[in-house]
Each structure stands twice: as C-alpha cells, then as structure tokens.
Amino acid sequence: MDWALLLRTFGAVFLAELGDKTQVATFCFAASGRSFWSVFLGSSLALTATSLLACLLGSTLSRLLPLRWVHLVAGVLFVVLGVVFILRNLRG
C-alpha cells in the first residue's frame, strides 16, 4: 500500500468535493430529514462507484498513452467543460 499516494488522493478529492454540486445535492437530500443513513450510504456508494470508474479508466489509459498525454487530456477536458458551463450560464 502506497500510503503517501493514498493520503494525497484523499486530500485532493476531499478538497475538490467541498462545495461541489454533489455535496450540495447530498446536503439537500439530508435536509429533507427523512433518513440520514440512507442519504449517507447512497452518496457514499455513488462516490465510490464513480471513483472506481475513474480508476479503471485512468489505469487503462495509462497503459495506452504516456502519463503526460493522460494529464493533457484531463486538463483539456476540464477547460472544455469550464467553457461549456460558462457559455450555458451566459445564455441564461
């Protein structure tokens, strides 16, 4: 087990999720007051499932492409999504 990588991954994902739309959605579900544990387990399982998909895709891409290209593709994807969200908000 690479503990340094585990801690870096935890820190990065934890900070990225703070204030994220996923956290806001979880907050709203929990605010309904119906079942804390159902909301907690549902959101935890969803985050685990999406993390599993990201790990599978990342490890597959890293075998097909140099790491530099994987980082470049991820960066371009972030920029493209950012531009799409900005343009969507400007249109109203």
Residue at 79 is within a domain: no
Residue at 28 is within a domain: yes
pLDDT at 46: 95
DSSP 8-state class, residue 35: -
Residue at 87 is within a domain: no
Residue at 73 is within a domain: no
Q: With a cut of 90, say whether residue 19 has pLDDT above it.
A: no
| Cut 0.85: pTM above it | no
Cβ of 39: how many Cβ atoms within 10 Å? 19
Which carries the bigger pLDDT value, residue 19 or residue 78? 78
pLDDT at 33: 87
Q: Structurally, how many domains does the chain consist of? A: 1
Residue at 10 is within a domain: yes
Provide the residue range defining the domain that includes 27.
3-65
Residue at 13 is within a domain: yes
Residue at 25 is within a domain: yes
Residue at 21 is within a domain: yes
pLDDT digits (tens, 9 = 90+) for 49-61: 999 999 999 899 8
